[in-house]
A and B are shown apart, each in its own frame.
Chain A
Amino acid sequence: AQTVTQSQPEMSVQEAETVTLSCTYDTSESDYYLFWYKQPPSRQMILVIRQEAYKQQNATENRFSVNFQKAAKSFSLKISDSQLGDAAMYFCAYTPGTYKYIFGTGTRLKVLA
C-alpha cells in the first residue's frame, strides 16, 4: 500500500533560522510526484514545492528546498531564513501520476520571534 508518513507532529524554529520537516513514503512505483503543501490558519492549502521522482535534482523555490532521497523514500522540506508568515501546517503528498493523492498527517510549524 502507498503511504505517506510525517513523524513530526509539531516543530518550532526561531525567526531567521533554518528548519527541516521530514516526510517518508512507501511505494512500489518507479515514477511518481511529491509535493509539500502549506495550510495557514485560513485553512486554504497552498502548494509550496513539487518534485518529480525521475529528476535527480532537488527542487527549490526561493527559501524552500527539498532533500529528495529516492532510494530511502525520503522527501524533506528545508525552510531557510524562517519568517513569521511561515507558521502553518505543512503536508507532504504523493501521487503516482494518477489523480489520487495521498497526504501525510501534517507537521505544525511554529515560528518564534
Chain B
Amino acid sequence: GAGVSQSPSNKVTEKGKDVELRCDPISGHTALYWYRQSLGQGLEFLIYFQGNSAPDKSGLPSDRFSAERTGGSVSTLTIQRTQQEDSAVYLCASFQAAPHTDTQYFGPGTRLTVL
C-alpha cells in the first residue's frame, strides 16, 4: 500500500470487553512497532516485530495485551478485558531496515475509548 493503515480509526468499548486493533504496514517493510500514546504523554513502546525473529514484547503493560504479526505483514494488537486506563491512541509504525538509518512510517492510529 501507499502508507501504513490502521483500523478502526476510532473504537469505543465497554470496560471488560476485548478489542482488536489492526495495522497494515507498507509492503516490504520487515519491521513493525506498536506504540501507545496517552493524553499529554509521549509515545510508549509496546512491542516490536522484525522479520521472523521473536518479537520484543517488553513494553506490553500487562498480560491482557498481546500482538501477533501474520505472514510478516499485517499485525493485530489485542487487548483483553479492557480497562479505562487503556484509553489512548494506539499507533503502528513500519520501516524497512535499521531504525536509525531508515524512516519509521506511522499509521494514523486507532483512538480507543473504554467507558
Q: Footprint of B on A, CB under 8 Å?
A: 4, 9, 33, 37, 42-47, 52, 91, 93, 95, 97-101, 103-106
How many A-B pairs fall under 8 Å by CB?
52
For the A-B complex with A43-B108, A99-B48, A100-B45 known, give 6 more contacts whose Cβ atoms are closer than 8 Å. A37-B106, A44-B109, A91-B43, A93-B43, A99-B99, A101-B45
- 23 A-B residue pairs with Cβ-Cβ distance under 8 Å, sorted by A, are A43-B109, A44-B3, A45-B91, A45-B93, A47-B103, A47-B104, A52-B100, A95-B99, A95-B100, A97-B100, A98-B99, A99-B31, A99-B33, A99-B99, A100-B45, A100-B48, A101-B43, A101-B45, A101-B99, A104-B42, A105-B40, A105-B42, A106-B42
Number of interface residues of B (CB under 8 A): 24
B42–A91 CB distance below 8 A: yes
CB distance from A28 to the nearest CB of B (A): 17
Identity of the chain B residue whose Cβ is nearest the Cβ of A105 in the assembled complex: B42
In the assembled complex, the Cα of A60 lies from the Cα of B107 at a distance in Å of 25
Partner of A44, one of B31, B99, B107: B107
Asked if B112 is an interface residue, CB under 8 A from chain A, the answer is no
Name A's interface SS: loop
Could you tell me which residues of chain B, from 86 to 115, have a CB within 8 Å of some CB in chain A?
89, 91, 93, 98-100, 103-104, 106-109, 111
Where the two chains meet, the residues of B that have a C-beta atom closer than 8 Å to any C-beta of A are: 3, 31, 33, 40-43, 45, 48, 50, 56, 89, 91, 93, 98-100, 103-104, 106-109, 111
| Contact status of A43 and B42, CB under 8 A, knowing A95-B99, A97-B100 | no
